[in-house]
Chains A and B, each alone.
Chain A
Amino acid sequence: MEQTTIRFTLNDRPITHAAMPYRTLLEVLRDDLGLTGSKEGCGTGDCGACTLLLDGKPVTSCLVLAAEADGRKVTTVEGLAKDGKLTPVQVAFIRYGGLQCGICTSGFIVAAHALLESNKTPSEADVRAAIGGNLCRCTGYDKIVRAILAAAYDEGELVDESASMPVMEKPLFTEGPM
């Protein structure tokens, strides 16, 4: 079997790369090109940790052959922040606690970006549907959903670095025995 040459745009940079035709886009990005932000959680398209944008659409890159990227535009989690400036989605995940161990986080952030590119005013149901293919074992998802909604609706606050952390709505109970 011979290597095939693939030409594509990776995070706004043109790339020419030779790879065996059976290799996945995820393998090529991680093993050959050193972009390890996209993770392999299952290898079967079930967990979404390898989600990236192919021509702006989210795909599970463990199921995409590298050759399929030929002539197309690939955006990974590493390509979202521009000139060191985090996107509102990234800031919202930090501020609203939308991550714990972080191994699924790249996939969620990429999926959230794809949603907000196509829908500037998503409902909560839209958000849940958009990340329905991404698994997280740590957070229970609530803070991820809050973070994405905040990124959609509180953009001004999220780009203001002096803005304070979100305040807990709920009181802490410190009374004596009842």
Chain B
Amino acid sequence: MAREKLLGPLGESHARVDAPDKVTGATRYPGDIALPGQLWMKTLYAHRAHARIKRLDVARAEQTEGVVKVFTARDVPINEFGLIAFDAPVLAGDVVRWIGEKVALVVAETEQQARQALDLIEVEYEDLPALTDPREAMKVGAPVIHPHYANNVLKHVPIRKGDVERGFAESDVIVEGAYYTPMQEHAYLQPEAGLAYLDEEGRVTVQVAGQWTHEDQHQIAHALGLPDERVRVIYPAIGGAFGGREDMSVQIILALAVWRLDQMGIHRPVKTIWSREESILGHHKRHQMWIRAKWGAKRDGRLLAAEVEVIADAGPYAYTSTKVLGNAAVTCTGPYFWPHARVDAYAVVTNNIPAGAFRGFGAPQGHFAAEQQMNKLAKRLGMDPVELRLKNVLREGALTTTQTPLPGGVVALPQVVQVCARAAGWKATSTERHVADENLPQGSTSTRQPLATGYGFACAFKNIGFSFGFPEGASAAIELHGGTRVERAVLKIAGAEVGQGGHTVFMQMAAEALGLPLAQIELVASDTATSGDFGSASASRSTFFAGNAIRGTAAAALQKWRDEERPAIAIYRYQPPATENFDAATGRARPNIAYGYVAQVVEVEVDTETGQIRLKRVWCADDVGKAINPQLIEGQIEGGVVQALGYAITENFVTRDGHVLTPYFSNYLIPGVLDVPERIESLILEFPDSEGPWGARGMAEMPFIPLAPAITAAVHDATGVWFDELPLTPWKVWERLHERSYTPHS
């Protein structure tokens, strides 16, 4: 088990390169940057779930003191945006389809003047029927919300493998369940903000916190009707992202304002900062999903057939919903081998807040259903849940439900399952629990000891990089300066530092690839004017793609150096193997380049008198392929676990008729330090991925994925009750334990 010490910078827990400025308050986030003569912008939102705009009058607002200009839909040259489809308006002109739809922008001398003028904009609406339940919206005859999407179905993914009827007929045991997973708010601590101006070359420039500089640039350029190179996007420090900054928030509206003002002869920067409430109302959420599953297995535990239906609430526009849905379709049968599978997954258009990317990207929802099913099956068979996993996890060469093997060499599912179980002392705890379980009364424990302890297990897999044929790749550039030897190396790369430590890891990998000490690497990052397209800081892909891009660039730069070019400058683009979209009839696909694997054991304590659940300990085994910076990996595991704890227990995103009732941190409760486990044991495995740089896989999403079903398994272990919907708020738990008037969501 002893680990060889590496000589190079790889594998070392280097301190973050951005840490000194962050601990002294010197780091500038978008809201911290001010330019001379800057104007302020505030946004008017619809606050209606579905309505037609009958009249919009900005005259009074425009005449208010300090107001420079009010912009509406008429001012947007090409009034559409979207990451996978241009189906959403930048500013609504005729119909608003969700409460956060933007209707007008006020630009004024001060923020206060802009805010006050919002109240003077006159809008007359005619309310339209609001569809907020996707199961209703997809019914034949429901009113159509968006002209692009007939029957309100944005996407249907069917997966067909084998013959499920035969599989069920041959099964000894059938387990059926209906599951609900809620919306989740990203709740990064830095609300959206940005500053736009024309740079020295006349480019419309936006300094903003995002996840993909070149996609922001492209969407801005599209809406303004400009070529991409007339737009520049720069990311200063980014205060968290988690998928929530992958779609547009303030990017296009800031660019629009500064560009239109410039045409009016007003050459001044424009700044905006959203409040917490605007942030919670204004950007997309994790998809809520309703999942029905029927699984059949042999008495010895072998899985035979799965039939699953997934209904995902997309909100009114596509954002990234088709891709999230694809991931849910692939993961809703878990990381297991199935001879027979039939999956039907639907993304449905509604008048709720748009849904989009959030750490895990469909996999947490899919795995919640899959792992609940698996733990219920273990119970039905009287089999240890870990043993049941080891009988069924996907291995090298086994065909997934999309009828292709998992790529990348070792499929480390048995390894993460075993390392995690062993580290947690699973055998001992589960044996104890099996004994204690029989003594626990089902459903009501109020006359006994109020605190009940339980243990739960779950595992997961998820893709790294974009899926389903979406164009993928990453660019980097390296300049080597010096005379007889390299004195300094400049790495230019657009990849976003969203807090994960990406920039530190990029520099470590560049030092390794160039054979230089870290101190000689300079980083120029996150600016479309200095770098090619890197793709997004999402899908656990930054280390994987940056590493491959840096290795290729370093090799080219060193060759030029040997050829005596001074400075030696190389530009390189890493292009991974192509992926495939689902076959329209069977779902057959090679959907991904690479995967990560994870398993977790949790210990919970349930207060049966109050319904409160305390997550006491977590063991997380995560195969990262190669740990470039172990301390940063631990940070991702600990942070991912705590974010998933919020998803499972504390974060209750409440909506009514499309309106959000929890737009503050006082009623949307993300975990604080007093809510988190005493111990999170990070078990870092290194089974190299054959396509990964130095064998590294992506890992940042994995620790999130299995936690919720591990918690519900532990709660069952403690109380004998299965909870099939999240979050496990105290009132919900108490009502179920005391069998009071509980009405399930699904």
Contacts and interface: CB of A to CB of B under 8 A. Distances in A.
Given A37-B24, A141-B642, A144-B673, A44 B14 contact: no
Interface centre among A93, A105, A173, A175 (most CB of B within 10 A): A173
A37 B674 CA distance: 25
A102 B237 contact: yes
A135 B190 CA distance: 11
A43 B642 contact: no
Contact of B685 (A104, A141, A168, A173): A173
A9 interface: no
A140 B674 contact: no
A63 interface: no
A136 B674 CA distance: 12
A18 B73 CA distance: 40
Interface stretch (B155-163, B399-407, B633-641, B652-660): B633-641
Nearest to B193: A40
A24 B500 CA distance: 32
A139 B3 contact: no
Nearest to A173: B685
B666 A165 contact: no
14 contacts: A86-B20, A94-B20, A99-B23, A100-B499, A101-B190, A135-B672, A139-B638, A139-B642, A144-B673, A171-B2, A172-B630, A173-B683, A178-B415, A178-B418
B19 A103 contact: no
B189 A106 contact: no
Which 3 interchain pairs have the tightest Cβ spacing?
A37-B25, A101-B499, A103-B239
B114 to A, nearest CB: 14
Interface stretch (A65-73, A76-84, A115-123): A76-84
A143 B666 contact: no
Interface stretch (B26-34, B296-304, B547-555, B578-586): B26-34
B349 interface: no
A175 to B, nearest CB: 8
A49 B638 contact: no
B308 interface: no
Nearest to B501: A100
B188 interface: yes
B639 A44 contact: no
B632 interface: yes
B387 to A, nearest CB: 14
B380 interface: no
A135 B189 contact: yes
Contact of B25 (A76, A143, A178): A76
Interface in A11-62: 30-31, 34-44, 46-47, 49
Contact of B239 (A95, A102, A135, A175): A102
Contacts of B641: 140
B448 interface: no
Nearest to B632: A97
A42 to B, nearest CB: 4
A123 to B, nearest CB: 13
A138 B639 contact: yes
A109 B630 contact: no
B189 A90 contact: no
A49 B189 contact: yes
Range for the number of chain A residues in contact with chain B: 35 or more
Interface string A125-139: 000110111111111
B143 interface: no
A132 B673 contact: yes
Contacts of A44: 276, 664-666
Nearest to B27: A102
A102 B665 contact: no
Given A97-B632, A103-B240, A173-B683, A138 B499 contact: yes
Given A78-B24, A86-B23, A143-B631, 12 more contacts: A86-B20, A100-B501, A102-B239, A140-B640, A141-B638, A141-B672, A141-B676, A165-B12, A165-B631, A170-B682, A173-B685, A177-B414
A147 to B, nearest CB: 10
Contacts of B14: 165
B642 A95 contact: no
B627 interface: yes
Interface of A: prevailing SS: loop
A165 B239 contact: no
A142 interface: yes
A43 B638 CA distance: 27
Given A41-B189, A141-B676, A105 B240 contact: no
B643 interface: yes
B673 A97 contact: no
A137 B684 contact: no
Interface of A: 30-31, 34-44, 46-47, 49, 76-78, 80-81, 86, 90, 93-95, 97, 99-106, 109, 128-129, 131-145, 165-166, 168, 170-175, 177-178
B264 interface: no
B190 A39 contact: yes
A34 B34 CA distance: 9
Nearest to A109: B23
B673 A145 contact: yes
Contacts of B682: 170
B16 A97 contact: yes
A77 B639 contact: no
Contact of A99 (B1, B2, B19): B19
B681 interface: yes
Contact of B643 (A76, A97, A109, A137): A137
A94 B19 contact: yes
Nearest to B395: A177
A131 B674 CA distance: 9
B346 interface: no
A168 B13 contact: yes
B276 A103 contact: no
Given A77-B24, A131-B673, A138-B639, A177 B665 contact: no
A100 to B, nearest CB: 4
Nearest to A136: B189
B19 to A, nearest CB: 4
A133 to B, nearest CB: 8
Nearest to B2: A171
Contact of A47 (B189, B630, B676): B189
Given A41-B189, A101-B188, A140 B25 contact: no
Contact of B635 (A49, A78, A97, A177): A97
Nearest to B688: A174
B191 A140 contact: no
Interface string B498-512: 111100000000000
B642 A36 contact: no
B230 interface: no
B144 interface: no
B242 A97 contact: no
B414 A178 contact: yes
Contacts of A30: 32
A129 B672 CA distance: 10
Contact of A94 (B15, B31, B237): B15
Contact of B22 (A35, A102, A134): A102
Contacts of A36: 25, 28, 31-32
B126 interface: no
B15 A101 contact: no
B686 interface: yes
Interface in B472-509: 498-501
Contacts of B431: none
Given A78-B25, A168-B630, A173-B685, A137 B187 contact: yes
